[in-house]
Amino acid sequence: MAWEENKHIIMECVSCGLCQSNCPIYKQTNLESNSAKGKMTILFALLQGMLEWDEVAERMYECTTCKNCEATCLSGLDIAAVIEAAREELVKRGYGHTVSGELAKNIRGTRNPFGEDPKERERLKRLAEA
């Protein structure tokens, strides 16, 4: 789905803030920009040309996509889908998460996300079996 197709979901957010009551990230930081309401406001500003992609990247990665916000959303919006679409667009534009990039590189190089030597895995496996 093209990124712009999420616009109607972003527009449907009425900024009521009910999403804040059970967002695990918001509960930790109490920053409005960490809640779904804040993220939809940020993405709306992006769509309106008031923010650039590099300015929104950090907040888009600060989401567990647990969908707790959807459970309390007055409009029943699939916020997690919007966040994932935004992340996809961020990656396309070269703003992938540094940790994700490292994990991908490790998987390509060593077939595991930790960058460990595959032989070490075999050794540990044998040890466990023994």
Partner 1 sequence: MLRISSEEQIPVTPRGGGASFQGSSLPVRGGLILDLSRMNRIIEISDEDMVAVVQPGVRYETFEHELEKRGLTFPHDVGSHDSATIGGMIASDSNGHHAYKHGRVGPWIQGLEVVLLDGTVLKLGTRSPRYNMGYNLSALIAGSQGTLGIVTEAILKVDPKMPTSASIGAFFQNLDDLMAASHAIHMSGVEAGTLEATDGYTVSTISDVMGLGFPSCEGNFVADVEGFDEENLQAKLSILKRILEEHGGEEVIIAQDDETRKKLWAPRLDIDIAVMKLQPGSREIGFAASDPCVPLSKMAEAIREIGRIIRSYDLIVAVFCHTGIGIIHPAVIIDPENEDHWVALKKAEREVLEYVTSIGGVITAEHGFGYVKNNYVKEAVGAVKLELDRRIKGIFDPNGILNPGKMALDTEERDAGVKYTFPAYVSDQDMEGR
The Cα diameter of the chain in Å comes to: 61
When binding is defined by CB under 8 A, the residue of 55, 58, 71, 74 that contacts partner 1 is: 74
By CB under 8 A, tell whether 5 contacts partner 1. no
Smaller CB distance to partner 1: residue 72 or 100? Answer: 72
How many other CB atoms are found less than 10 A from the CB of residue 27? 13
By CB under 8 A, tell whether 1 contacts partner 1. no
By CB under 8 A, tell whether 7 contacts partner 1. yes
When binding is defined by CB under 8 A, the residue of 4, 15, 71, 114 that contacts partner 1 is: 15
Angle at 57 between CA 46 and CA 40, to 5 degrees: 45
Q: Which amino acid is residue 32, in one-letter code?
A: E
By CB under 8 A, tell whether 75 contacts partner 1. yes
Shortest Å, Cβ 9 to partner 1: 9
Q: Please state, in angstroms and rounded to a whole number, the distance separating the CA atoms of residues 18 and 29.
A: 16
